[in-house]
Structure 1
C-alpha cells in the first residue's frame, strides 16, 4: 500500500508520519491511544551527544516538543522539559524532526516548525538553554509573513550558529504579481548568541523542493554546507549543495548528481550530509529519476565542485531510503531504512577510508509497526544508531566497524 503524493509513492510504513493524515499517529492495534507527550508516544526523535558523553534527545509527541537527557545510553532519561505545546499544529511528519544543536559551552538550541493554516504554511520556532535545565520561551526565527519549515542548525568552530530553512517568501511575492512559482527557497541566518537572536537573514537559493528536509554540516574551512533538493527547469528535482564564502555570502549551488527526476509534486524525502576530517563531503539521497532510482551515495574532494559517480545503497526493491551520515576522522557511517513487506529494517554500512570503499551492508534491527528513520550520532570515541520505534521504544545502539 502506498500514498501517492504528486507522482511519488510514499511507502505505507512512512504514511503514519505524514502531516494532515487523520489518525496517522496510530500504528498497530492499541497504538491509537498513545497520544500523550511522553517519549513512548513520540513520532520523531533527534539525538545529540555532548562533550561529556551525555545523550540529549528532543522529540515530538502529543502536539508538543520535549527534551530530556540520559547518562546511561538512553536506558533512563531525566524528567522531560516541554519546550512548546501546539496540538495538531505541530509539524511532526516524517521529514520534520525537531532540530537540536549544542555548542562546546553546553548552550543548546532547539528549532522546529508549527503550521499556521491548512495549506502547510508554517513558522519556525527556536528555544534556547544555557545548560539544558530550562529553556527560553520559543521565538520565531524569522518575522517574514510567508512560510518557514524544515530548519537545520550547525555551530561553527568559532561558536557562531548557522540556521537554514525552507522558505516561501519568493513564492508569495510571485503570487502577488500573478505568477506561479513552484517549490520554495532556502533562507538562512546567523546567531552569535547561541540562538537568542539572529541576523543576516536572506535567501540563499531559490527554486527548491518545498517538502523535503535539508541537511547541513560545517566544512573544513568552517563554512556551512547545505544539501537540498533543487528544482531544475520546470519539474526536475535533483540534489545540490549550497555553501558560503568567508564573508557569509552564498555561493552558486552545485548539482550533486544528474538524476533527471521529473515529478510534479514533492517527494517528501530529504538527503543526508557529512564532512570528514580530510575535507571530503559525503552525500546520500533518494531519487526516482530517469538516470537512476533508489538510494545513492557520492563524495566530493573539491568542496562540492564535483562529486563521484553515485553508488547504489541498500535494496531498491525494499524501498531503501531515509539516509543518515556521520563522519569521524576517516571513518564514515551511513544508515538507512528498508521495508521487506512485513518488517522495517535499520541498515548500516561503514567506510574506514573516507568513503572510497565500504563494508558489507548490515541489518542492525528489525521491527513491525511504526519506526522513525534511524539516525547516526557519535562522541569523540564511539558511534551509535539512534532509533525510535513503537515496538521497542527508544534505543541507542553502539556500532562497531566490523
Structure 2
C-alpha cells in the first residue's frame, strides 16, 4: 500500500484538545488537501484499517466520489481512488445526507443518493463495491427495483459480526416517508427482500444501525413526536419489533431538523445511543443506555445546549467515544470518553478550524479517530482526521 503525503497538509501534533484538568497526550491531526469542495463524508474502521469516502464538487460542476485508506490510525492516507463505476454520480448528498461505507476485510460497500424523480429532484440509491480493499470498484446491486427513480436517502450502512452488510434508508413507498431495511450476505451482490421498520417517520434525518448479540437495531427519528426511536429484528427474522422511543422528550414540531443520532454496542452487549432533541426543556445531545432486554436509562446530556450532530463508537478498551458539533460557527467539535459507567469531562477539537461540523468517529485496535469537514480560506470545504492517542 503506497502512502502519500503530498495530498495532505497539517500533519502535525495538534494543540486542540482543551479539557479542564485533562492530562491526556495531545491528539494529532491531518487536514486533507481536496481538489474540490467536499460536500459529503463517510468513514468506517475494520481492525487497524480506517476507510474514508467523500464527495467532491469541482468548479466545472463535476461531482465524484473518492476513497482512501489509513493503516496508522488516520495520519497518513493512501492516494485517493475515484469510485468510478459508470453509474449515476452522487447528487443531493450533503453533510446530513452523507454517502456511507462499510468494510469486511477487503470487501467494501459504498452507497450514495443520485438525482431522480423524488422531492426536489432527489433520486434513488447507487451502490458500489470493491473486493480488493478499494483498489478497484464495480457496480453493486441495490435492494430496490432498477426502474425505481424515486428518492432513497439518509442511509445507515453497517457490517454485522456475521459479516453481513445491512442497509437502512428513508423513502416514501407507502405515501409517507418511512424507514426501510435490507441485508446482503454476499458483499452487495444481492439483497434480501425489503422490510419496513416504520412506515411513517421524520422526513430527512439520518439513520443508525447496531448489532448487539443476535439482533439488528435500527434507530431513526419519529414523526409525532419527533423523538428518536428504535426497532429491532433478530437474525433470521422477517419482522421488526414495535418501535420504542429513545428518550421521551415529547418534541412535537411540524418540521424536520436534519439531525439523526449515533448507536453503538459495548463489550457487555449493552446498547448505547446518542440522540439530539430540540425540545425546549431538553435541547441538546443526550446519552442513553439499554441493557439486554431492559429499558432505556434516563437521558444524560453531553455538551452545551446548542450541541447537535453527534456520533458514537465503541472502543477496544471497552468504552465509548462520543463526538458532537458544538452548534456554533467556530466553536469546534466536542468529544468525551465513556468508561466504567461515566463520561469524561468534555474536550474540544478543531478550536482553530473554520466552521467545523458533522463529526464522525471510528475506532481501531489501539486508537480512535474523529473526522469532520471544515472551511478553507476560499470558502470550499475539506475534511480533517484527528487521531486520539491510546487511553
TM-score by length of 1: 0.79
Does the 8 Å contact 1:151/1:166 carry over to 2?
A: yes
Aligned: 1:348 with 2:343 = no
Distance 1:170 1:237 in 2: 19
- Using the TM superposition, give the Cα deviation of residue 209 of structure 1 relative to its aligned residue in structure 2, in angstroms: 0.9
- Using the TM superposition, give the Cα deviation of residue 393 of structure 1 relative to its aligned residue in structure 2, in angstroms: 4.4
- Using the TM superposition, give the Cα deviation of residue 370 of structure 1 relative to its aligned residue in structure 2, in angstroms: 3.9
Alignment of 1:134-145 (within 5 A): 134-137=136-139, 139-143=141-145, 144=148
Aligned: 1:338 with 2:339 = no
Does the 8 Å contact 1:186/1:206 carry over to 2?
A: yes
Distance 1:40 1:228 in 2: 32
The SS at the match of 1:237 is coil
In the superposition, relative to structure 1, how do residues 135 and 261 fare at CA in structure 2: closer, same or farther (>3 Å)?
Answer: same
- Using the TM superposition, give the Cα deviation of residue 76 of structure 1 relative to its aligned residue in structure 2, in angstroms: 3.8
Distance 1:202 1:226 in 2: 12
For structure 2, the 5+ residue unaligned runs are 1-32, 58-62
Does the 8 Å contact 1:68/1:81 carry over to 2?
A: no
Does the 8 Å contact 2:216/2:235 carry over to 1?
A: no
The C-alpha deviation readout for 1:277-310, integer Å capped at 9, x for no partner, is: 111111111111255212211111134x521111
- Using the TM superposition, give the Cα deviation of residue 254 of structure 1 relative to its aligned residue in structure 2, in angstroms: 1.2
Does the 8 Å contact 2:90/2:112 carry over to 1?
A: no
Does the 8 Å contact 2:368/2:387 carry over to 1?
A: yes
Aligned: 1:375 with 2:364 = no
TM-score by length of 2: 0.81
The SS at the match of 2:210 is strand
The C-alpha deviation readout for 1:322-381, integer Å capped at 9, x for no partner, is: 1010112521111111145x514111111111xx21110101222453434121111122
- Using the TM superposition, give the Cα deviation of residue 119 of structure 1 relative to its aligned residue in structure 2, in angstroms: 1.8
For structure 1, the 5+ residue unaligned runs are 1-36, 172-180
- Using the TM superposition, give the Cα deviation of residue 82 of structure 1 relative to its aligned residue in structure 2, in angstroms: 2.8
- Using the TM superposition, give the Cα deviation of residue 88 of structure 1 relative to its aligned residue in structure 2, in angstroms: 8.9
In the superposition, relative to structure 1, how do residues 155 and 88 fare at CA in structure 2: closer, same or farther (>3 Å)?
Answer: closer
Aligned: 1:192 with 2:185 = yes
Structure with greater helix percent: 1
Report what 1:103 is aligned to. 104
Does the 8 Å contact 2:332/2:356 carry over to 1?
A: no
Does the 8 Å contact 2:333/2:356 carry over to 1?
A: no
Does the 8 Å contact 1:215/1:271 carry over to 2?
A: yes
Q: Could you say which structure has the greater relative contact order, defined with CA pairs below 8 angstroms and 6 or more residues apart?
A: 2
Report what 2:19 is aligned to. none
Alignment of 1:303-318 (within 5 A): 303=293, 305-316=294-305
Distance 2:332 2:260 in 1: 19
The C-alpha deviation readout for 1:194-247, integer Å capped at 9, x for no partner, is: 1111122121212111100001111122x2111110123xxx211111110232
Report what 2:15 is aligned to. none
Does the 8 Å contact 2:118/2:149 carry over to 1?
A: no
For the aligned residues, what is the CA RMSD?
Answer: 2.4
Q: More deviation in 251-260 or 289-298?
A: 289-298
Distance 1:38 1:85 in 2: 22
